[in-house]
């Protein structure tokens, strides 16, 4: 019995060693090769900024204390900049509460509204979607707001790597939007740890693309 247990333990240790080595090799490839850059470039969409009825800003996320995360704040800043250039008279802020991401009794879109107001956008120019929790719902709710207010087209603001999935989702629903990526993608990230962090974002987007195609949303 002891011999059998010893053999099983050795096999488990061997399997663990193989898996650990594979993980380390995978991380090394992501950190020190151009594969992340190549994959990320497949997600990029060229900006097509033009005058429209509205500017739709998609939420990224928020910290546990309710503060907007870097991705969301950057999107709001970019959307407000487009608004101040006179490219639209209305801003649609899209994003509800994400479970485990915001402990305050306020939606991410409402926090985005607070930020936009501080940046000089009057409340009368803002429309809030406080319901959507994913990109598909962003598109559905933003489209509903546009239809109810007689809007024909909009500038779509989100991060560079998220834009392709967002754009395909909106257009799948027949919503006329023009891409305006908020975060400029840096194709030559030198720091290995930054490249590893970027790989998580890129892989998540590709997984999202596959899931959305399976659901028929893009």
Which H helix or E strand runs over 94?
A: strand 90-94
pTM comes to 0.79
Judge contact between 49 and 155, C-beta under 8 A. Answer: yes
CA atoms 23, 26, 207, 37: torsion sign: positive
Judge contact between 162 and 128, C-beta under 8 A. Answer: no
CA distance linking residue 114 with residue 97, whole number of Å: 15
Q: What is the pLDDT along the chain (218 residues), one digit of tens a residue?
A: 555 556 556 666 555 555 544 444 444 444 445 566 667 777 888 999 999 999 999 998 888 777 888 889 999 999 999 999 999 999 999 998 755 555 557 889 999 999 999 999 999 999 999 999 999 999 999 999 999 999 999 999 999 989 999 999 999 999 999 999 987 544 545 555 555 556 677 888 989 999 999 999 99
pLDDT at position 17 is 53
């Amino acid at each position: 019995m002891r011999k059998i247990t010893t053999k099983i333990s050795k096999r488990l240790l061997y399997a663990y060693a193989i898996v650990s080595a594979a993980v380390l090799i995978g991380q090394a490839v992501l950190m020190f090769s151009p594969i992340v850059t190549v994959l990320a470039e497949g997600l990029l969409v060229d900006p097509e900024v033009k005058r429209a009825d509205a500017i739709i800003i998609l939420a990224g996320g928020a910290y546990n204390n309710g503060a907007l995360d870097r991705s969301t704040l950057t999107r709001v800043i970019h959307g407000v900049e487009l608004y101040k250039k006179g490219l639209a008279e209305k801003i649609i802020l899209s994003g509800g509460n994400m479970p485990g991401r915001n402990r305050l009794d306020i939606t991410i879109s409402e926090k985005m509204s607070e930020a936009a107001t501080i940046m000089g956008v009057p409340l009368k120019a803002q429309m809030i979607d406080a319901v959507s929790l994913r990109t598909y719902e962003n598109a559905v709710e933003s489209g509903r707001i546009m239809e109810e207010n007689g809007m024909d087209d909009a500038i779509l603001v989100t991060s560079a790597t998220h834009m392709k999935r967002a754009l395909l989702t909106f257009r799948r629903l027949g919503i006329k939007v023009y891409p305006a990526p908020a975060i400029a993608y840096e194709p030559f990230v030198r720091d290995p740890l930054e490249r590893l962090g970027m790989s998580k974002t890129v892989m998540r987007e590709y997984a999202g693309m596959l899931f959305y195609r399976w659901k028929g949303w893009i």
